[in-house]
Structure 1
Amino acid sequence: MKKTIFLSITKISILICAIFLITACSKETTQVSNTGDAILKVGSVQVAKSEDDNNIANRSSAKNSGSTNRNQAAETYVIALENKQLVEVNFSEESTATDAQSNLKASTGTKATSKTEENELGKDIKYKLVVYDEGGTFVTEKDYAYGNESTTAGIPLQANKTYTFIAYSVNSKTDLPKINNSGNIDDAILKAVNADLMYYTKTLTVKAGENKLGVVMKHLFSQITTTLDMDKSVTGSITNIGSSILKPTHGSADVRLKEGDDQINYNGIHPDGAVIIFPSLGNGLRTVESEPTILIHEGTSTGTVNIGSVTIDGETKKDLIIKNIKVTPGHKYNLKLTFKTCTQDVTSEAMNWKYERTEKIINGKKKIGIELENGTFIENNQYLNKSFNAPQSNYGFVFDITNLDNAFNMEVNGQFIFGNKKEDQIQFQTNPSLGTVRNIQFVDGSEHGTWAVPEVWDIFGSESNPSLSILISKTGEVQILASKTSQGKLVQMKLKNGLKFNKVIWNETGNNTVNVTQKVDGKTIVVGKGRGTKKVSCTL
């Protein structure tokens, strides 16, 4: 019995000593950590517009002799089309600056700086941050959604130790590739990536306390944005775009996390190429911009773009092929196709309504309106009218305005382009005191007098660069283009609140009559020129 009690006391004594030693050791470790712990937090995340260090071309496992130099000059040339039309092709690289210089800062240090032109990552875009120690051994990884960094817990690390930080994303709010063989940086790889892979790596020594990492990711694959644009010489709009393809592209690529030669291994060529995705055209647009098309390729000077079909102003063009596209991995490019029609004026007649607000006493009452050159007085709420004749104009009618204040309507062969009477005016101004309400805006939603766009009467054009242009196509479609600045580019407009322009009847071989009407409302201005047009053979 005594022996049993003795053994029990001995066991309890040993257990107490063990607990004491463990507690003492734990306290010692905590004390050391408190004097040297580091916390890593993500301070900023940006995306460089294009790779600018000429490294990505050297990361491919299958180098292409056709690879092109970065920052290539823009290429512009013209392709003749059928039916007296042509397309101007402009292929250019987005401008870049010098290589990104992101760094780490302590919470009390100076702000990280960068010389590269950068864009902010999209809200809630997912990205992963992976940490390796100086020997290349995996330490930890953490997933982020952009915009939530400030509320995301930091990563604990050992102070005064050197780590390699790798961040990557495929520019998606839902997808984030997993790492294969993550245990060592030499073996870690992303398999079969077929999306817009963005990548960042930096080796840094962390300090005690909070450290903030400035991440600047770079695109590892090429991107091409394709724009179809209609020159002012083309009436109507783009109403359909068929299947459009960019070649060549690989189906996917395997990408090692460790930066260096042979980082990217391209898998088999995709036989169908990369699909160019255009937005919905609605009732028709004059400028259509695609989503960026990802080209997973080691670099080429023989790329092709095939626009399967495009319908413009009721005419369909098929298999428009752009050859010898030159791209380098990691760079972003713009391909702009501007469609033009070769025309000549059949008739041309100027219009010069420019009348100041005038007050007159008539029959003992004060009247407000305008006074014409011949002395005729026209009161407010009455209408001015100007007629144009356009015979044998097989491509429609163009009315260019260089100055407007502040509304009008047009009647083509007895049909108003808006509403059903002259009192229905296309109004560019909202003025509660006059009871006028703006009923037209730019297709992007901006309006004259708002969004930093001047009022329509404060925008001045010229004969070559009008401030406003009304196009009547040979099929009777009506389009209004306007500039947001004096002498600026013309941009498509649309009626507000679901209103639409009327389709009119245009006689390609017979006579046409166009009447311009404007309601007198104080100062009254319409200065411009109307002209009937016909197609002619193109001269390249």
Structure 2
Amino acid sequence: MISQFYQKSKGKVMMAVVAFLCLTSYSCKETQDSIVSGDTVVKVNLLGVATPASSNGAKTKAGAASHQQDVQVSSVPFAKGSTLTATLTTDAPANQANGLRAGTSRAAAAASTGTFNLANGVKYAVLVYDSNGDFVSTKEFNAEETNTEIALNAGTYTFIAYSTNETSVPSVEGVGSLSTASLKDISADLMYFKGELEVKPGVTNTLNVTLKHQYSQITTKIFVAEGTIGTIGQIVAPTITPSHASASLTFADNKIVYNGEANQNVAVAFPGFTPGSLVATSTPTLLIHDELLKGATLTFGTLEIGGVVNNNFSFDKLNIVPGQRYNLNLEYKVCTGEVVTSGMNWNFPIYGNPGDGAVIRNFIVNDVFQVGPFNAANGSIISSEITAPAADYGFVFNIYSLDNSFNMNVNGVNIANQELQFEVFEAGLGTAQTIGFTDGTRHGAGGIPQVWAKGMEGNYTTQTNPLIQVNIDQAGYVTVFGRKSADGELLPMKMLDNKPFNNVNWKGGAESNSVKITQRVDNATGIQGFGKGLKKGACKN
């Protein structure tokens, strides 16, 4: 009896043990399966791109290196009486977070200020290595992408992120191990991040990524100073030197190895530049160098501003920090005194119906002075002559209101072969439009107001905010600028037949200039403006 009871009890105990072991085994298996399947997720949070908070060697008054706003200024004579001043400043956002880090949302909040954003469509890659340095996973994302999750087992990982500011990313050599992984011979805009993160199950794991520029960038801007007459005529073969051709980066030690000698002349590109512009801005120029560069040189094969041509013109001793972004502004200015003309100020109303003409009083019509009121038919030419004083550096005619066309004869030469007609008329009510903006837009079309529209006029009394500007440099080169909106900037214009404006014989020294303003009557007709020029004067600085 006892034996039977023992046997039954033994059987029940064995069944309980087996059941316990099965449950334990299933639980273990479920946990293992869960880990292997990568149910733990890391969300990549791209905060932006940072630049180093390093000084270029400039000193503060206390003698310490300035880490906030390094500014280098240098002025070089461009021609007799004119200078080109270079100002090099760092292009780092305020409150830029120092260093690169991965971690919690608090770190994200700290790092989210003071970074540049990657443009939409730019790709970056994220690689994952385990605690042994073995490769685990990699993913590529677009900068604007929000679905940036990576499935991983729980554990501690090293994360590598990189981009070359392009729509694709270069492949990694020796990717299988952190000790051998590297990016080879990179000549594009390399940005890099490395950080560790402990990935925990059951929580949101966020990897905050702040990429860091590894190469320097310089954006060059050439512009004519306010109050200086002249435009930019030529920008030929600009380069910055020195630079390496490329570099390689190893993930294990974050070391950059620069390839070849630092003897490369890097071309500076000014896309969209057209002769006769007041401003020319380059795309960022990439410099690849291994330490503070105390002698970068910007050289122009040819640079023409204000009718003055300089060959092999250069700025040297530019101090450049690796990985930093810079703005290099080149301001052209002449040492002058101002001379002015009498004003242009007349406005004649329409008579009859649109297409008939304008009522003219005390003015020259078709070369005959009419006391008026005189009904001048559409197509009549009204004119006024002024004397422009001698101006060594050219002349600017600022027009503050216009209805609706004009031409200008300077010392016997018209600035254009036909009337500069800014208005778009209905069929049969006026002459065809002849001038527009160099980007293909025009007044009276595509949302741009007619040139005479209310609100488009500048202030004739205070001589501010010109609507149209005719610029004649010292060599007689003519350019025309106009506004597209009430508070817009002056933008370059061109004749719609694509013929250039005529060069005129502009006089400096002691000689004055004869200027004749003409307007073709097309309904209401008028103009308000002043002319001013620059003569040689003493430099204040």
TM range (shorter): 0.7 to 0.9
Among candidates 206, 214, 219, match of residue 213 of structure 2: 219
The one-character-per-residue Cα deviations of 1:495-519 (angstroms, maximum 9, x if unpaired) are: 4463532334445676643222234
Task: Assess if the C-alpha contact under 8 Å between 2:351 and 2:358 holds in 1.
Answer: yes
In structure 1, what is the Cα distance between the partners aligned to 2:103 and 2:433? 52
In structure 2, what is the Cα distance between the partners aligned to 1:430 and 1:75? 49
The one-character-per-residue Cα deviations of 1:73-99 (angstroms, maximum 9, x if unpaired) are: 444453223333211222222241334
Q: Do the aligned partners of residues 164 and 451 (structure 1) sit closer, same or farther apart at CA in structure 2, a change above 3 Å counting?
A: farther
Task: Assess if the C-alpha contact under 8 Å between 1:245 and 1:274 holds in 2.
Answer: yes
Deviation at 1:348, TM superposition (A): 2.0
Runs of 5+ consecutive residues of structure 1 not aligned to the other structure: 1-23, 58-66
Runs of 5+ consecutive residues of structure 2 not aligned to the other structure: 1-25, 57-63, 363-370
The alignment partner of 2:343 has SS state of: strand
In structure 2, what is the Cα distance between the partners aligned to 1:508 and 1:393? 5
Task: Assess if the C-alpha contact under 8 Å between 1:346 and 1:393 holds in 2.
Answer: yes
| 1:480 correspondence with 2:477 | no
Partner residue, 2:83: 86
Partner residue, 1:11: none
The alignment partner of 1:32 has SS state of: helix
Matched AA of 2:269:
I
In structure 2, what is the Cα distance between the partners aligned to 1:239 and 1:133? 56
Partner residue, 2:129: 132
Q: Do the aligned partners of residues 445 and 112 (structure 1) sit closer, same or farther apart at CA in structure 2, a change above 3 Å counting?
A: farther
The one-character-per-residue Cα deviations of 1:425-470 (angstroms, maximum 9, x if unpaired) are: 330x445485576554444556556788766452425436544321
| 1:245 correspondence with 2:252 | no
Aligned-pair Cα RMSD in Å? 4.5
The alignment partner of 1:460 has SS state of: coil
Task: Assess if the C-alpha contact under 8 Å between 1:398 and 1:533 holds in 2.
Answer: no
In structure 2, what is the Cα distance between the partners aligned to 1:366 and 1:287? 40
| Mapping for residues 358-437 of structure 1, pairs under 5 Å | 369=358, 372=361, 376-378=373-375, 381=378, 382-390=380-388, 392-420=390-418, 424-427=419-422, 429-430=423-424, 432=426
Greater alpha carbon shift after TM alignment, 313-322 vs 432-441: 432-441
The alignment partner of 1:141 has SS state of: strand
Among candidates 168, 176, 184, match of residue 162 of structure 2: 168
Partner residue, 2:93: 96
Q: Do the aligned partners of residues 37 and 437 (structure 1) sit closer, same or farther apart at CA in structure 2, a change above 3 Å counting?
A: farther
Task: Assess if the C-alpha contact under 8 Å between 2:244 and 2:264 holds in 1.
Answer: no
Q: Do the aligned partners of residues 35 and 283 (structure 1) sit closer, same or farther apart at CA in structure 2, a change above 3 Å counting?
A: closer
The alignment partner of 1:118 has SS state of: coil
In structure 1, what is the Cα distance between the partners aligned to 2:184 and 2:38? 37
Deviation at 1:292, TM superposition (A): 1.0
| Mapping for residues 88-487 of structure 1, pairs under 5 Å | 88-99=85-96, 114-123=112-121, 125-144=122-141, 155-158=150-153, 160-173=154-167, 176-204=169-197, 205=199, 215-231=209-225, 233-247=228-242, 249-257=243-251, 263-266=255-258, 269-279=261-271, 281-297=273-289, 298-345=291-338, 348-354=341-347, 357=349, 369=358, 372=361, 376-378=373-375, 381=378, 382-390=380-388, 392-420=390-418, 424-427=419-422, 429-430=423-424, 432=426, 439-444=434-439, 456-457=451-452, 458-461=456-459, 462-463=462-463, 466-483=466-483
TM-score normalised by structure 1 residue count? 0.73
Q: Do the aligned partners of residues 36 and 91 (structure 1) sit closer, same or farther apart at CA in structure 2, a change above 3 Å counting?
A: closer
Task: Assess if the C-alpha contact under 8 Å between 2:161 and 2:194 holds in 1.
Answer: yes
Partner residue, 1:13: none
Deviation at 1:264, TM superposition (A): 3.5
Q: Do the aligned partners of residues 447 and 219 (structure 1) sit closer, same or farther apart at CA in structure 2, a change above 3 Å counting?
A: farther
In structure 2, what is the Cα distance between the partners aligned to 1:74 and 1:432? 55
Greater alpha carbon shift after TM alignment, 472-481 vs 387-396: 387-396
Task: Assess if the C-alpha contact under 8 Å between 1:395 and 1:533 holds in 2.
Answer: yes
Partner residue, 2:368: none
Q: Do the aligned partners of residues 289 and 372 (structure 1) sit closer, same or farther apart at CA in structure 2, a change above 3 Å counting?
A: same
In structure 2, what is the Cα distance between the partners aligned to 1:500 and 1:210? 64
In structure 2, what is the Cα distance between the partners aligned to 1:134 and 1:445? 59
Task: Assess if the C-alpha contact under 8 Å between 2:89 and 2:328 holds in 1.
Answer: yes
In structure 2, what is the Cα distance between the partners aligned to 1:251 and 1:187? 23
Deviation at 1:525, TM superposition (A): 4.4
Q: Do the aligned partners of residues 435 and 268 (structure 1) sit closer, same or farther apart at CA in structure 2, a change above 3 Å counting?
A: same
Greater alpha carbon shift after TM alignment, 282-291 vs 209-218: 209-218
Deviation at 1:223, TM superposition (A): 0.8
Deviation at 1:214, TM superposition (A): 6.6
| Mapping for residues 43-54 of structure 1, pairs under 5 Å | 47-48=48-49, 50-51=50-51, 54=53
The one-character-per-residue Cα deviations of 1:91-138 (angstroms, maximum 9, x if unpaired) are: 2222413346997999xxx99993234333253x44322112244432
In structure 2, what is the Cα distance between the partners aligned to 1:228 and 1:408? 31
Q: Do the aligned partners of residues 146 and 117 (structure 1) sit closer, same or farther apart at CA in structure 2, a change above 3 Å counting?
A: closer
The one-character-per-residue Cα deviations of 1:164-185 (angstroms, maximum 9, x if unpaired) are: 33221222346x4443443443
TM-score normalised by structure 2 residue count? 0.72
In structure 1, what is the Cα distance between the partners aligned to 2:129 and 2:344? 74
Q: Do the aligned partners of residues 533 and 72 (structure 1) sit closer, same or farther apart at CA in structure 2, a change above 3 Å counting?
A: closer
In structure 1, what is the Cα distance between the partners aligned to 2:375 and 2:155? 85
Q: Do the aligned partners of residues 103 and 348 (structure 1) sit closer, same or farther apart at CA in structure 2, a change above 3 Å counting?
A: same
The alignment partner of 2:311 has SS state of: strand
The one-character-per-residue Cα deviations of 1:332-378 (angstroms, maximum 9, x if unpaired) are: 111111222344456622222245x46679xxx99774565876355
Task: Assess if the C-alpha contact under 8 Å between 2:421 and 2:432 holds in 1.
Answer: no
The alignment partner of 1:384 has SS state of: strand
Task: Assess if the C-alpha contact under 8 Å between 1:104 and 1:112 holds in 2.
Answer: no
